[in-house]
Amino acid sequence: MTQQNKIFALEGKVQHYQWGGFTYIPTLLSRSNDAQQPFAEYWLGAHAQAPAVLKNDGALDSFIKANPEVLGEKVKKQFGRLPYLLKVLDVKDMLSIQVHPSKKDAEKGFAAENASGLAATASNRNYKDDNHKPELAAALGEFWLLHGFRSPGSMKKMMQDVPEMMFLQNDFGEGDYQKVYSRVMEMDQDEVNKRLQPLLERILPAYEQNRLDKDHPDFWAARAAVTFSEPGKTDRGIFSVYLLNLVRLSKGEAIFQDAGILHAYLEGQNVEIMANSDNVLRGGLTPKHIDVPELMKHVSFKAVDPNILTGTPVNKGEDAFLTPAEDFELHVINLHGGQSTESKAKTVEIFVVTEGEATIEAAGSILSLSKGECAMSVAGAELTIRSLEGAELYRATVPQ
């Protein structure tokens, strides 16, 4: 890296997970998808599994290792690496019921799986790295997800309103989340089939006739059955659709998910930022590796009141979604035609243009970015961001 380089063109890595859509990310990136592959996630970070690439300077993780000063003194000392991973997601099919471990538990689990000789790429591996994975999802349009256990009152009402869930009333009592969730996650498969069959017989015809609304769990339970259940094996993740909060985000809204919070993305597109990790413990609604005992060790058995975030102004045309996470902070920059904004990079910062076109200038260098294009700036860079026609950019950084 030459001394004067403060900004770089950046290209991320597409992940073709089967739950991804076929058009949103290819259109964003101006790529064809003639093979009709699912484009699920676009990774922009320095995770060793799929590091972004700097034009003329190689993989981002290698670049940072060779030039650690680009992180800035505070981040270099606290984390020793880029602490976040930025993604764009297109959720066509529901993602798994999942939870993320704490930092301490991730370190312990990663070391244990390494010591066991389990290959880093093994499909039955729970811990891909030694890091926790708090995460924030910012909706790019209507976005649906499950997020944390319902409140006691909401849980009791659900059990009264959904006849097939009434059998859980005694387990739940006045709020025994661990008992009720252990019941549905640990029951044998024959009982899962028996308990859910009457529900599916009731809701599947309505789903197939488009008579169910997305704001009711029946819609997502039916979709889950169609997507994931196999002959003789109904997916137990369907119980979670009723036990967790169903949340709808609109564009400009976001939600934060810390360690222990059960969640599942259901449908839509978002910009997601998280600690630099790929640790996911799954409990259903997925063909991927499921480890219920390991998942249950890390679940927070408490009610959650979903906290929908909106941006807090931090600069001209720039809002931040504020969370307790030390690893990351996500900003959204909205510029009208002819507007500009100035700021100083706190660490390695990553920008992705989601609408319009913009330029980023630093130390006399100018990068022109169209929709879907990305840039990286280094700590200390004095940045001027402009747009002639208007633009929306997401900016990944650390808490200010």
CA distance 138 to 252: 7
Give exposure, 61-88, as e/b (b: 16+ Cβ within 10 Å). bebbeeeeebbbeebbeebebbbbbbbb
Task: List Cα–Cα distances, 238 to 181, 231, 281, in angstroms.
Answer: 12, 15, 17
For range 85-98, the mean pLDDT: 94
Report pLDDT for 262.
95
User: Residue 165: which pLDDT band, with cuts at 50, 70 and 90?
Assistant: very high
Share of the chain above pLDDT 90, in %: 82
Report pLDDT for 5.
87
Phi, psi of 88 (to 5 degrees): -115, 130
The H-or-E segment that residue 161 falls in is helix 152-161
What pLDDT digit, counting tens, does each position of 271-315 carry?
999 998 887 888 876 777 778 888 888 999 999 999 999 999 999
Binding-site residues for Zn(2+): 98, 100, 135, 263
Neighbours of 282 (CB within 10 A): 22
CA distance 187 to 232: 15
Report pLDDT for 282.
83
What pLDDT digit, counting tens, does each position of 102-160 carry?
888 888 888 888 899 988 888 888 878 888 789 999 999 999 999 999 999 999 999 99
Helix (H, G, I), strand (E, B) or coil at 361: strand
What pLDDT digit, counting tens, does each position of 46-75 carry?
998 899 999 889 999 999 999 999 999 999
Hey, what amino acid is at 84? Y
The H-or-E segment that residue 194 falls in is helix 189-208
What pLDDT digit, counting tens, does each position of 213-271 carry?
999 999 999 999 999 988 999 999 999 999 999 999 999 999 999 989 999 999 999 99
Task: List Cα–Cα distances, 200 to 162, 170, 191, 221, in angstroms.
Answer: 12, 23, 14, 8
Domains and CATH numbers, the chain: 7-145+248-309 (2.60.120.10), 157-238 (no CATH), 310-397 (2.60.120.10)
Dihedral sign computed on CA atoms, order 277, 283, 287, 289: positive
The DSSP result for 204-271, as a single string, is: HHHHHTT---TTSHHHHHHHHHHHH-BTTB--THHHHHHHEEEEEE-TTEEEEE-TT--EEEEEEEEE
Pairing of strands 374-377, 349-356: antiparallel
The catalytic position among 125, 282, 386, 395 is 282
Hey, what amino acid is at 206? A
User: Residue 2: which pLDDT band, with cuts at 50, 70 and 90?
Assistant: very low
Share of the chain above pLDDT 70, in %: 99
Q: What is the mean pLDDT of the chain?
A: 94
Neighbours of 379 (CB within 10 A): 20
* Known catalytic membership, residue 282: yes
Report pLDDT for 348.
98
What pLDDT digit, counting tens, does each position of 177-218 carry?
999 999 999 999 999 999 999 999 999 999 999 999 999 999
Query: Residue 376 forms beta bridges with which residues?
Result: 8, 350
Token look-up 């992180």 returns 71
User: Residue 77: which pLDDT band, with cuts at 50, 70 and 90?
Assistant: very high
Contacts of 119 (CB under 8 A, 6+ apart): 125
The length of the chain, given as a count of residues = 400
CA distance 115 to 21: 37
